[in-house]
Amino acid sequence: MTANSSVTDRPLIRLNPNQDRRLRSGHPWAYSNELRMLPDYRSMEPGLPVRLESAEGWRYGTFMFNPHSLIAARLLDRDPSAVIDAGWMAGRIASAAALRARVCDTAFHRLVHAEADRLPGLVVDRYGEVAVVQANTAGMDRLLPEITRALVDALGLSAVVARNDSGARAQEGLPEQVALLHGSDASAVVEEGGVRFPVDPLEGQKTGWFFDQRPNRDMVAKLASGARVLDVFCHVGAFGLRCAGAGAAHVTLVDSSAPALALAEEGARRNGFPERVATRRGDAFDVMAALKEAGERFDIVICDPPAFAKTRKDRDAGLRAYGRMARLAAPLVAPGGFLFAASCSHHAPIADFAAVIAEGIQRARREGRILATTGAGPDHPVHPLLPESAYLKGQLIQLL
């Protein structure tokens, strides 16, 4: 049986009695302990489409099934007879592209955001004529040929890259893989706010760029004219170079990755302002402490770290790290200047994140006022019943 098997031989999976409350409310997942896991199910190939029904026969539609995953069934289509083939995938990709055409003003954006685009576990980032795909579920992994074809046909892409190296794949029993699925040249450039950024879809972090922070970069860049800017955990310098492009007097980029800083330096040269951009390699906490000791002050300090709380058990330690980050960053902000602090950890809820940022500022003996509490842009839609997928949060704070 393949991912495109006909509905006549599609297996029927039933829920245990009284285990359909969440599905009745519209939730797109069923957990393994909610299903009547018959012995034959254990031998099914992960990712195959199945029909899912309640113990009483209520039909919930077509799901992709993985007997080895805690999230055992993920919704594909409310129609239990839906044919999951190239035509079906083309329709889903077209729907996602139509939304981005309405809410994005360039061809550089998150094109598919998993369940919110009715493609569970699939992430697609678009870099003009290049798309980067992450298939984080067994069902989407099986459908990669159809996904690639739909993307190329819909958007006329020159290259499609698979960045199937995320930790989420291990939970589905999938191997890591980075490959060029279509085309011969995956090099790409992101254009944002008049600034061009070279990215490396095959070797960069995740899909090579972080589109989720675009509205926050827009917001910070508007404050940057004539400012001295410190961009900590800068990666390829997205925040800092946007500030330089908006007229910042000087930008200091800090990261522990030499390749990331090299891309940032290339970006500064490519955009014609290398003399206003300096890089400093090192541990972000150590560098901030050293800058404080040296009496440095900046008009804007940006702290956009990697996830400090990657799992639930990391939550408390992660929150302490965010608090320490704020405590070290606050003294570096000149009076009347701005601190932008962000977290991409969905295990650090916004209320808890805001509390430790406020505590860190207070411990630095600074006062401030919150100007904005933010998230990702509209190209990162959120399924209404999966609020945990709204992972990004940030705060823009003026320090007095």
Model confidence over 356-369: pLDDT tens digits? 999 999 999 999 99
What is the C-alpha separation between 277 and 348, in angstroms, rounded? 32
**Could you tell me the pLDDT band of residue 4, with boundaries at 50, 70 and 90?**
very low
Token pair for residue 91? 């329709």
Domains of the chain: 7-77 (2.30.130.10), 86-188 (3.30.750.80), 210-399 (3.40.50.150)
Is residue 2 pLDDT above 50, yes or no? Answer: no
> What is the per-residue pLDDT for 388?
83
Tens of pLDDT along 283-335? 999 999 999 999 999 999 999 999 998 888 989 999 999 999 999 999 999 99
- Inter-residue contact 369 to 400 (CB < 8 Å): yes
Token pair for residue 224? 């940057």
Cα 336 to Cα 47, 165, 292, 339: the distances in Å are: 54, 43, 17, 10
Q: Is 275 exposed, middle or buried (0-12, 13-18, 19+ CB in 10 A)?
A: exposed
The DSSP secondary-structure symbol of 382 reads: -
Is residue 207 pLDDT above 90, yes or no? Answer: no
* E-only strand ranges, 103-142: 108-113, 122-127, 130-135
> What is the per-residue pLDDT for 200?
81
> What is the per-residue pLDDT for 20?
93
Neighbours of 145 (CB within 10 A): 12
What is the C-alpha separation between 98 and 212, in angstroms, rounded? 18
Tens of pLDDT along 66-102? 999 999 999 999 999 999 999 999 999 999 999 999 9
Is residue 131 pLDDT above 50, yes or no? Answer: yes
**Could you tell me the pLDDT band of residue 337, with boundaries at 50, 70 and 90?**
very high
- Inter-residue contact 374 to 218 (CB < 8 Å): no
Token pair for residue 150? 């739909």
Q: Which helix (H) or strand (E) holds 154?
A: helix 144-155
Token pair for residue 302? 């940006």
- Inter-residue contact 373 to 354 (CB < 8 Å): yes
- The residue whose two tokens read 């003026």 is 398
> What is the per-residue pLDDT for 140?
97
How many helices and strands, by DSSP H and E, does the chain display?
Answer: 12, 19
CA 259 to chain centre: 21
What is the C-alpha separation between 373 and 381, in angstroms, rounded? 17
Q: In what order do the strands lie in the sheet with 71-77?
A: 12-14, 48-53, 59-65, 71-77, 29-31
> What is the per-residue pLDDT for 7?
61
What is the C-alpha separation between 196 and 283, in angstroms, rounded? 27
**Could you tell me the pLDDT band of residue 3, with boundaries at 50, 70 and 90?**
very low
> What is the per-residue pLDDT for 346?
86
> What is the per-residue pLDDT for 180?
94
38 or 146, which is more confident: 146
> What is the per-residue pLDDT for 40?
83
Cα 350 to Cα 100, 101, 344: the distances in Å are: 26, 29, 10
> What is the per-residue pLDDT for 6?
52
Phi/psi at 29 (5° precision): -120, 155
pLDDT cut 90: percent of the chain above it: 85
> What is the per-residue pLDDT for 1?
30
> What is the per-residue pLDDT for 8?
58
> What is the per-residue pLDDT for 187?
86
Among 143, 112, 139, smallest CA distance to 125 is for: 112
Active site residues: 344
- SS3 call for 226: coil
Length of the chain: 400
**pTM, 2 dp:** 0.91
Is residue 175 pLDDT above 80, yes or no? Answer: yes
Is residue 206 pLDDT above 70, yes or no? Answer: no
**Could you tell me the pLDDT band of residue 201, with boundaries at 50, 70 and 90?**
confident
- Inter-residue contact 385 to 111 (CB < 8 Å): no
